């Protein structure tokens, strides 16, 4: 009697084995479709495993993605069939046993037929795409709209621009990325690549949405949906979704400005709000007067002129004369090398990210000489006239 109670029935054990097998295969398939960082670190992705066949996206961008989209479609369509085959090899006895039940028999055979025909359908589509050197591929068909003779000429132009250092590549999600070159903007996904030439394309920010990173955190992340709307006949529009922090970066690379519709607002990040408060406080500080005209650019952003100088103006909590104390502010002898925005970002980056409310009360070190300073030691540069 006790042995009957303590042991599980064979049916329960087999159900647990079936469930465990299905979960493991689902996790494996999920890792292939949405490879986690662990898979990418060991090279267990489609792009890495078949890199010798795919080639390099940096050298032949279009040809690489023509091959990649076909290969990805084929492998993803095989996964359900692979599950059925492995399941049958491991649990064939159960299938034959359940075949005696007519509804289960019909359902199982219908499932097998559907999953077996899926790779055949995918292979037929891929064969059609690959005919005549990928002439029927949706990407090639799209590029044909930009070429009077052959889509290959447009592909060569994109490949040449993609080899340059000024291209912009942004991974916007697990399955999407955006590539912007001097004249083209492209959205790359698993099975397709949407392409538009910037000269006849309008970019419109149509929606923005914010999401909290966690229930206990005050920080949030904001995304912006941008419609890429080509005016060329036959070229379909598409939507790219990017982090709001990357919006300005993308806008700077575009030939045309991005139109922002009414109702699309950009929420300021913690860093942006801190920079505003930082600059307001610096306005209250004494200025640094110099006879030297500053012709250099900010060492950090290399865009703005240096407009702040660090010079000790505060009173240490240890007294004015105690400048050698490791906890107090010290004199900085560096010449003006930073703009106020970059110095504010540097100041924020050196603080405890969990105590944002007391950042302005803290100290930081000069990016060059490591002299300690606080917000009261940051002075705007003023030319002596």
User: What is the Cα 10 distance to its own chain's centre?
Assistant: 48
Helices 61-98 & 102-134, crossing angle to 10 degrees?
160
Q: What is the domain range of residue 179?
A: 164-260
Query: Which of 328, 337, 338 lies closest to 363, judged by CA?
Result: 328
The yes-or-no verdict on residue 202 having pLDDT over 90 is: yes
Residue 263 φ/ψ region, left for φ over 0, alpha for ψ in the -120 to 50 degree band, beta for the rest: left
Integer CA distances (angstroms), 346 to 191, 260, 275, 366, in order: 41, 30, 10, 9
Q: How far is CA 307 from the centre of its chain?
A: 33
Backbone angles phi, psi at 257, to 5 degrees: -70, 155
d(CA 339, CA 380): 9
Is residue 143 included in any domain, yes or no?
Answer: no
**How many Å apart are CA 120 and CA 81, to the nearest integer?**
11
> How many CB atoms neighbour CB 377 within 10 A?
24
Closest CA to 210 of 196, 228, 222: 222
Indicate whether this model's pTM tops 0.75: no
Least-confidence region, from 63-72, 180-189, 266-275: 266-275
Number of neighbours of residue 239 by Cβ within 10 angstroms: 14
Rounded Cα distance between 316 and 374, Å, is 10
Residue 242 in domain: yes
Residue 170 three-state SS = strand
Give 108-148 pLDDT, tens digit per residue: 667 777 777 889 999 999 999 999 999 999 999 999 999 87
Supply the pLDDT for residue 222: 85
Give the start-end residues of each E strand in 40-183. 168-171, 177-180
47 and 79 inside one domain: yes
Mean pLDDT of 179-192: 94
Model pLDDT for residues 74-100, shown as the tens digit of each residue:
999 999 888 888 877 776 555 555 555
Backbone phi, psi, residue 193, to 5°: -135, 115
pLDDT 10s digits, 313-370 = 887 644 444 444 566 898 899 989 999 999 999 999 888 877 878 888 889 999 999 9
Pairing of the two strands 220-230 and 238-243:
antiparallel
Choose the final residue of a domain: 241, 260, 279. Answer: 260
CB–CB of 342/301 below 8 Å?
A: yes
pLDDT of residue 94: 55
**Which two tokens mark 355?**
């105590």
Q: Span 150-162, mean pLDDT?
A: 93
CA gap 167, 250 in Å, rounded: 11
Mean pLDDT computed over every residue of the chain = 84
Residue 179 lies in a domain: yes
Domain count, the chain: 3
Residue 209 lies in a domain: yes
Last residue of a domain, one of 136, 151, 177: 136
Whether residue 229 is contained in a domain is answered as yes
| pLDDT for residue 91 | 66
180 and 215, same structural domain?
A: yes
Reported as a pLDDT band with limits 50, 70 and 90, residue 30 is: confident
pLDDT at 25 over 60: yes
Percent of the chain, pLDDT > 70? Answer: 86
Tell me: do 366 and 289 sit in the same domain. Answer: yes
């Amino acid at each position: 009697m006790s042995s009957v109670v303590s042991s599980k029935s064979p049916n329960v054990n087999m159900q647990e084995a079936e469930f465990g097998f299905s979960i493991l295969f689902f996790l494996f398939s999920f890792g292939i479709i949405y490879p986690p960082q662990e898979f990418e670190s060991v090279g267990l992705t489609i792009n890495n495993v078949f890199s010798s066949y795919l080639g390099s996206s940096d050298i032949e961008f279009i040809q690489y993605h023509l091959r990649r989209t076909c290969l990805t479609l084929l492998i993803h369509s095989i996964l359900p069939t692979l599950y059925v085959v492995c399941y049958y090899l491991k649990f064939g006895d159960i299938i034959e046993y359940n075949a005696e039940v007519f509804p289960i028999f019909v359902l199982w055979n219908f499932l097998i037929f559907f999953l077996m025909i899926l790779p055949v359908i995918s292979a037929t589509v891929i064969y059609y795409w690959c005919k005549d050197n990928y002439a029927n591929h949706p990407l090639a068909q799209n590029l044909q709209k930009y070429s009077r003779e052959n889509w290959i000429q447009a592909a060569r132009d994109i490949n040449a621009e993609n080899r340059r250092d000024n291209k912009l590549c942004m991974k916007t999600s697990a399955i999407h990325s955006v590539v912007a070159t001097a004249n083209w903007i492209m959205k790359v996904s698993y099975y397709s690549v949407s392409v538009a030439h910037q000269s006849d394309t309008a970019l419109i920010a149509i929606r923005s949405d914010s999401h909290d990173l966690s229930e206990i955190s005050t920080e949030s992340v904001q995304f912006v949906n941008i419609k890429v709307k080509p005016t060329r006949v036959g070229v379909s529009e598409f939507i790219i979704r990017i982090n709001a922090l990357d919006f300005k970066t993308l806008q700077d690379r575009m030939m045309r400005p991005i139109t922002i519709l009414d109702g699309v607002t950009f929420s300021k990040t913690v860093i942006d709000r801190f920079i505003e408060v930082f600059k307001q406080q610096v306005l209250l500080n004494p200025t640094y007067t110099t006879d030297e005209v500053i012709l250099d650019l900010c060492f950090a952003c290399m865009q703005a002129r240096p407009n702040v100088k660090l010079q000790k103006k505060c009173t240490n909590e240890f007294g004015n004369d105690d400048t050698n104390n490791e906890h107090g502010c010290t004199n900085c002898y560096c010449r003006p090398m930073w703009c106020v925005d970059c110095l504010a970002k540097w100041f924020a980056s050196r603080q405890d990210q969990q105590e944002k409310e007391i950042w302005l009360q803290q100290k930081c070190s000069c990016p060059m000489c490591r002299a300690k300073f606080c917000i009261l030691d940051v002075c705007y540069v003023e030319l002596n006239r």
